Structure 1
Amino acid sequence: MSATVSDLLKEKKGAYSAAELAALAARFRVEMFDVLHERQTGHWGGASSAAEIVTALYFSRLKIDPSQPKWEGRDRFVLSKGHASVNLYTVLARRGFFAPAVLPSFRTLGSILQGHPSMKLVPGVDFSTGALGHGLSVACGMALSAALSGAGFRTYVLTGEGCLDEGSTWEAMLFAAKYRPKGLVFLVDYNKVQLDGRSEDILPLEPLADKFTAFGWHLAPRAYDGHCTADILRSFAWLDGDDVWPKAVIYDTVKGKGVDFMEGKNAWHGAAIDDGSYAKGRPQLLKDAEAKEAAL
C-alpha cells in the first residue's frame, strides 16, 4: 500500500471524507486483485462492484470495535452475497479485525479465510453466508432481536441480484414490512450481471424500485452511484433522515469495476485471474489508486 493510505489507516482520527474513502476502496481493489490472482480462485466481479460500499460502511458508518468483535452493542453487517468474501476480508483486515498478513491465505486449507465467510472463524463476520437469498432473513432476525431487547444496534445486509432472484428474499421482505424492526437496512449492489449473463436476461428485476415500494419498504428516493463515495455518504445521510423502517437503498454499480476488459462481463464473475489478465489489469487498478491518493 502507498504511504498515503498506510498513514491514513494508522493515524486517521474522526470521520473519513469521501476522497479518503475513495482512496481506501481503490487500494483495497488492488489488494483483492493480487490475492485472487495469487490463489487462482475466488470472485472478482461482485467483490469489485461492492468495494466502495463495503469500505464506506466499515470506515464511515458501522458502530463497531475491532478490538471487541463480539461486542453486543455493535452494528451488524450481513454479506448476503457471500461469494464476494475477498472484499469483506480485505476491509476487515484493514479495519483492524485481524492481521492483513492473513489475506494471502485466502481459500487455502486450514485458513480462516474460506471462500464464503464463516462467523465461527473470522473476527468481524456476523453471520456465515454463501447460499444466496439467506442474508435478509437472518438480518430480519437480528433487527427484530435488537428491537425487542432494546439493544439499539442497526443491522445492514448487502445483496446482489442473485439474492433477489431467490424467493426467500421476498418472503423476508414481507416479514420485515409487517414487523418493521427499527434499524434494518437493506443495501442492493445492483451491478446488472450474474454468473451466467446479464440479469435482465436471466430473471428481470425491473421495475426494482417499484417492487420495494409495493412490498412496503421505505426506499431511498433514488438509486445512488455505488462507486462514488460522496454519493454513498449522501445515501447514509438519507438513512438518518427519518424514523421509518425498514429502509432500503439501491446502488448502481459495475461488475468487475476498475479493469476495463472485465467490467460488465459475466465471464469475470468468478473466473481465475490468469497471468496475462493480471499483467494487463493490475496497472489500471494501481493507476486509479494512485490518482485517488494524489487527490488527498
Structure 2
Amino acid sequence: MRRRSLQMIYEAGQGHPGGDLSATDILATLYFGVMRYDASMPTAPDRDRFVMSKGHCTGALYTALAGAGFFPQAELSTYLRPNSRLNGHPNRTYLPGVETNTGPLGHGLPVAIGIAIAEQIDRSGYRTFVLTGDGELQEGSMWEAAMLAGHRKLGNLTAIVDRNRLQQGARTEDTNALEPLADKWRAFGWEVVEIDGHDYAQLLSALDPPASPRAAPRCVIANTIKGYGVSYMQDKASWHHGVPSAAQYAQALAELSGAADVGEEDQA
C-alpha cells in the first residue's frame, strides 16, 4: 500500500505522502482485519462505516479502497488527473466506499458522530470509525463533537488519532500544544487507549469488536511517524505535502520493499 500510494503521488506530481505513510497501517488494519463490509454492496445498511476526517490523505485511502474491491486497482493510475474519480479529497458522489466528503479539517468527526447517533437510534448494528489527524484536533468543531459523543455514550464509535506530532509546516506542540491529549478525551467522556500505530497486533487489539457493548465512545491514540518507511521523509514536516524527485522515488521504493522497482509496481 505504501509503495502504491507513493507511486500515485509521484506520477500525479502532487499529494500528501507524509500523512499517507503514517496512516497506512491503520487503514490496512481497518479494511483487511476489522471492518464489516461487502464492496459489491457499498451502501448495505448493516455495513461498518469509515470516515477519513484527514481527507487530504487520499493516496492511502484510495489504495485501501481499491485493495478492498470498491473499484478496480487499475483506476489508481488516474489519481488527480482530469475527470478522474480519485480527487485530492474524497467525494462520495463519485466513489463507492466513501461515506462523506472530507478535506476541510474539523468536519469528519462531527459527521461520524451523526452516523453513530443514527445507529444508536435504529440499532442497525454497525460500527463507525473515523481517522483524524492530530493537527486537526486544533479545530474547535472537533471538541464540540467529542463532547456530544461522550454525552450520547456512543459505544459504537471509534475515533483514531494519527498522532504523528507534525502538521503542515511545524510540530503540533509548537503550533498549538495538544498534550495531555489522552486526558482531554477522557474529560469529554471517552474511553482512551494509546498504542503504537505501526504495530498490527496493537491495532487489532484496539479496534476489534469488544466482547460486550461499550458504554462510551473509544479514542485510539495511534502513535505514528510521519513519512513512515522512507528515511528522508520520516518525522519531517516538509513532507506533509510534496513530490519526490526521480532519485528520491527510487530510493523510497527500495527502502519500502527491497528489490521492488517501478515495473513490478505497474503489474501489481
TM-score using structure 1 length: 0.85
* Shift, 1:238, TM fit: 7.6
- Match in the other structure for 2:205: 234
Does the 8 A contact of 1:76 with 1:154 survive in 2? Answer: yes
Q: Distance in 2 between matches of 1:48 and 1:239?
A: 28
1:72-113 alpha-carbon deviations (Å, 9 max, x no partner): 110110000000011010011011111000001111110000
Q: Does 1:167 align with 2:164?
A: no
Deviations 1:37-75 (A, max 9, x none): 111111100011010110110011111000001111101
In structure 1, how many angstroms separate the alpha carbons of the residues matched to 2:240 and 2:76?
A: 20
Name which of 165, 168, 190 aligns with 2:163: 190
Please tell me whether the aligned partners of residues 64 and 74 of structure 1 are also in contact (alpha carbons under 8 angstroms).
yes
Correspondence for 1:150 among 111, 119, 123? 123
Cross-structure match for 1:61: 34
Distance 2:135 2:82 in 1: 27
In the alignment, which residue of structure 2 is the partner of 1:120? 93
Deviations 1:236-275 (A, max 9, x none): 2484465222111110000000101110001111112221
Cα distance change, pair 233–241 in 1 and its aligned pair in 2 (3 A): farther
Q: Secondary structure of the residue that 2:50 maps to in structure 1? A: strand
Q: Write out per-residue CA displacement over residues 134-166 of structure 1, whole angstroms, 9 at most, x where no aligned residue.
A: 111001100000111121111110001122010
Which residue of 2 is the match for residue 134 of structure 1?
Answer: 107
Does residue 199 of the first structure (1) align with residue 175 of the second (2)?
A: no
CA distance in 1, matches of 2:135, 2:34: 25
Structure 2 stretches of 5 or more lacking a match? 262-268
RMSD: 1.6
Of residues 207, 228, 235, the one that matches 1:257 is 228
Once the two structures are superposed, the pairs formed by residues 11-26 of structure 1 within 5 Å of their partners are: none
The match for 1:78 is: 51
Q: Which structure 1 residue ranges, 5 or more long, are not aligned?
A: 1-27, 291-296
Query: In 2, are the aligned partners of 1:73 and 1:151 still within 8 Å (CA)?
Result: yes
- After superposing the two structures, state which structure 1 stretch, 43-52 or 241-250, moved more: 241-250
Report the Cα distance in structure 1 between the residues aligned to 2:255 and 2:229, rounded to whole angstroms: 7
Number of aligned residues: 261
Contact 1:239 1:247 in 2 (8 A): no
Q: How far apart are residue 286 of structure 1 and its match? A: 1.4
User: Corresponding residue for 1:294?
Assistant: none
Percent of residue pairs identical: 42
TM-score relative to the length of structure 2:
0.94
Contact (CA 8 Å) 2:155, 2:218: kept in 1 or not?
A: no
1:30-69 map, 5 Å: 30-69=3-42
What's 2:242 paired with? Answer: 271
Given that 2:102 and 2:108 are in contact with CA atoms closer than 8 Å, whether structure 1 keeps it comes out as: yes
Q: Does 1:91 align with 2:52?
A: no
The residue number in structure 1 matching 2:264 is none
- Structure 2: how far apart are the matches of 1:84 and 1:109? 19
Taking the aligned partners of 2:28 and 2:184, their CA distance within structure 1 comes to: 28
